[in-house]
Amino acid sequence: MVAILTRIFGLAHVETVEDAVQDTFASALLAWRNGPPDDPEAWLMRAARNRVVDIFRKMKADDRRHLRLESGSATIAINELFMDDEIADSQLRMIFAACHPALDPREQIAFALKSISGFSTQEIATALLLKEETVKKRLMRARKAIQEQHIAFVIPQGKELTRRLDRVLDVLYLIFNEGFHSTRQKTIIDKELCGEALRLCKSLLENGTTRSTVVYALFALMCFHSARLDSRMNEANELIDLRDQDRSMWYFPLIALGNDAMTRAMEGDDLSKYHFEAAIAAEHLKAPTFKDTDWDRILMWYERLDALAPSPMNTLNRAMVQLQRNDTGSAADLLRSLDPDALAQRAYLLHGAWGEYHALSNEREQARACYTNALALVKNKAERGYLQKKLQNLA
């Protein structure tokens, strides 16, 4: 809905558009007091379409609030903008428009996550390992640049499109990650968000201009992770460690789809961070049991990933792999190299990793202190329960 309305009014008025969409949902809260309609999505789209008409009428009635429409959008029939095909196309267009080169690359990602998936500033901060105030400043700078430079809501053509593709893939990757490991308090998994990222990535593969080995690698990574979603939580909504997951619950058609995408991803010489992350995910899927996991190969892929795209999360993951290899010395060196501030709202993961280290070293008091520090920082309910179980196991 935001994408469609923004196409009509332009990116400069995205905040007004977001308000209009909120009006639509506020109307739904009143209209659905006795239960939702048979087709809630269709109801919302009709309400949004009517809201567009209302805004047009106000624009014509008040010259002071008249908005200049981009590239003849006023001549486009509003009904056509709400057709299924156009809805999908608008969402993809929104990503490319948000990743405009006139914006700072860091601001592109923050603005895209806010505009496309409705991430809160806190969710964006967690995804990008930033402070919330930093994200707010980036969003303000992005909106100011859009207004001052009259950035239009269009899909770029030719080379300009491919120049934006890397940033678009970053956005899809972060959208998927938020679904796979949510920062919200009450849920750790958002399957719909994972599905949205998969669908948008698939749209890129269906377009001859945007199809590439890197896009195939990202699609493979999403397929591999999505195949394990049902095994990550039990019926009591408790988080299940990879060691204890029921591997018969993994969805093998998605694994096969990921394998096919990975084969296509390896047809070129351009290896990206998504290639290495997909290779790591594939190693986990290949192992019939946790005990059979080839941690040496996983470490090798992580080291290659870190050489290409170093990050605090990569370092933390390498440390956890070293713990699985019983190389506690190397694990400790990696953990010491990390500053909790570099992980921002994910700092609890570092404290949890230190807890694992001390538990393996049979240093129970130190492990208990680390898990307690992690609990003080974690906000997600499922992760809190997971850490509390770790503490109980120490006893």
* Residue % of the chain over a pLDDT of 70: 87
Structure tokens at 110: 């923050």
Q: What is the structure's pLDDT at 91?
A: 67
Q: What's the pLDDT tens digit per position in 242-264?
A: 999 999 999 999 999 999 999 99
E strands, the chain, are none
Structure tokens at 148: 């001052």
First and final C-alpha spacing in the chain: 52
* Residue 114: partners with Cβ closer than 8 Å, 6 or more residues away: 121, 124, 139
Q: How far apart are CA 138 and CA 149, in angstroms?
A: 16
The residue assigned the tokens 């690359």 is 105
For the chain, the farthest-separated pair of C-alpha atoms sits apart, in whole angstroms, at 74
Q: What's the pLDDT tens digit per position in 124-134?
A: 888 787 888 99
Of the two residues 86 and 196, the one the predictor is more confident about is 196
Q: What is the structure's pLDDT at 59?
A: 64
Span 163-172, mean pLDDT? 88
Q: What is the structure's pLDDT at 62?
A: 54
* Residue 62: partners with Cβ closer than 8 Å, 6 or more residues away: none
Q: What is the structure's pLDDT at 68?
A: 46
Cα-based angle 55, 71, 199 (whole degrees, multiple of 5): 80
pTM: 0.79
Is the pLDDT assigned to residue 312 strictly greater than 70? yes
Q: What's the pLDDT tens digit per position in 54-91?
A: 776 776 655 444 444 444 444 344 455 545 544 456 66
Q: How many residues does the chain have?
A: 395
Least confident piece of the model among 136-140, 174-178, 207-211, 349-353: 207-211
Q: How far apart are CA 227 and CA 76, in angstroms?
A: 41
Q: What is the structure's pLDDT at 370?
A: 97
Q: How far apart are CA 128 and CA 232, in angstroms?
A: 23
- Which three-class secondary structure state does DSSP give residue 246? coil
Q: How far apart are CA 327 and CA 389, in angstroms?
A: 24
Q: What is the structure's pLDDT at 67?
A: 44
Q: Which amino acid is at 51?
A: R
Average per-residue pLDDT in the chain?
A: 85
Q: Phi/psi of residue 105, each to 5°?
A: -50, -40
Q: What's the pLDDT tens digit per position in 323-368?
A: 999 999 999 999 999 999 999 889 999 999 999 999 999 999 999 9
Of the two residues 292 and 100, the one the predictor is more confident about is 292
Is the pLDDT assigned to residue 385 strictly greater than 50? yes
Q: What is the structure's pLDDT at 93?
A: 72
Q: How far apart are CA 147 and CA 326, in angstroms?
A: 55
Span 194-198, mean pLDDT? 90
Span 146-163, mean pLDDT? 74
Structure tokens at 63: 């010259």
Q: How far apart are CA 79 and CA 183, in angstroms?
A: 36
Of the two residues 47 and 263, the one the predictor is more confident about is 263
Dihedral angle computed from the Cα positions of residues 346, 143, 173 and 243, in that order, rounded to the nearest 10 degrees = 20
Q: Closest Cα partner for 248 from 235, 233, 225, 231?
A: 231
Of the two residues 65 and 236, the one the predictor is more confident about is 236
Q: What is the structure's pLDDT at 90?
A: 65
* Residue 54: partners with Cβ closer than 8 Å, 6 or more residues away: none
Q: How far apart are CA 228 and CA 100, in angstroms?
A: 34
- Domains, the chain, ordered by start: 311-395 (1.25.40.10)
**Helix then strand then coil, % of the chain, to nearest 5:** 75, 0, 25
